[in-house]
Structure 1
C-alpha cells in the first residue's frame, strides 16, 4: 500500500463530506427561521406526506422514537405540527403539518432552492444527471443491503 486512498475510499469520504457540509449550510440558513437541523428535518419530511404515524416518521428520519417525541412536542407547542389519534390503531398518532407551518415551509423551500442553485450553478446538466444516477444506484444498493441482501 502506498498511502494513497483508493477510488472507493476517496469517493466515500467525498460523499460524507458533501453531505455534512450541505446539512451544515442549510442548518445555518434555517437557524434564522428559528429551526434546528432536527426540527427542519421533521418539517421537511412531514411535508412529503398528508399524514404519517410517529413510527413511520421516525423510520424515515432514521431517529429513535423518544427523540422524535421530544422534537414533536416542541413543534406542536410552536403550532407547526398536530397529532391526531389514528382511526386504524388507537395506540398510534397521525401527524401532519398545521396551516401555520405552511408559510415557514415555503420559506424553507425558497432558501433550499437558492442554496442549491448557488451550489450547483457551475456544474453541467450532464454531470448532474450522471451524479444523480450514480447516487441513485448507491441509495438502492444501500436499501437492499439494509433489507438483508448480500453482495
Structure 2
C-alpha cells in the first residue's frame, strides 16, 4: 500500500469525522422524535432568532426548494410560524412557536450531552489549537472558492 501524504490523510479523517458526527447526531435526535434537518433548523433558529427561508437555506447549506418543503412540514406540526417582515411585507420571517422553542431546547440538550461525551478529558488548549487550525483551513478554502468565482 502506498504511503499517503499527511495532508491527504488529515482531510480524509476530517471528512470521515464530519460524516460520523452527522450520523451520531442524527441517531440522537431521531431517538427523541426529530429528523436531522428539523433538528438543525430548530438549532439555527433558536441560536439566530427569526430568519427568512433564504437565510435558513444558506445557513443549512440546502437548496431553497428543500427548505421550503422542510419549513412547510415544520409549520404543519407547529414548530415554526411564518410572519410578515415589518420592513418588507413580501418577505416572511420564520419564528419558533412555543412548541418549537421546547423542541429546540431538546436539540440543544442532545448537542450539549454529545459534546460533553466527545470532549470529556480533552485539554481545552488542545481544542483551541484544533479550532485555530480548522479556522485557517476554512479561510484558505474561502480564498480558493473566491478565486474560482472570479475566474468565471
If the length of structure 2 is used for normalisation, what is the TM-score?
Answer: 0.89
Q: Which runs of 4+ in 1 moved over 4 A?
A: none
CA distance in 2, matches of 1:129, 1:48: 22
Alpha-carbon RMSD: 1.8
Q: What residue in structure 2 maps to residue 117 of structure 1? A: 116
Q: Which runs of 5+ in 2 are unaligned?
A: none
Aligned CA distance change for structure 1 residues 48 and 141 (closer, same or farther; 3 Å): farther
Confirm or deny that 1:82 pairs with 2:75: no
With 102-111 and 58-67 compared, the bigger mean Cα shift is at 102-111
Deviations 1:74-114 (A, max 9, x none): 11111111111223333321111112112221221111111
Q: CA deviation at 1:141?
A: 2.5
**CA offsets 1:96-134 (integer angstroms, 9 cap, x no match):** 111211222122111111111111113222211111111
Shift of 1:17: 0.7
Range with greater deviation from structure 2 (71-80 or 90-99): 90-99
Unaligned runs of 5+ in 1: none
Number of equivalent positions: 149
Bigger share in helix:
2
Q: Give the SS at the match of 2:83.
A: strand
C-alpha distance in 1 between matches for 2:91 and 2:145: 25
Aligned to 1:91, what secondary structure does the other structure show?
strand
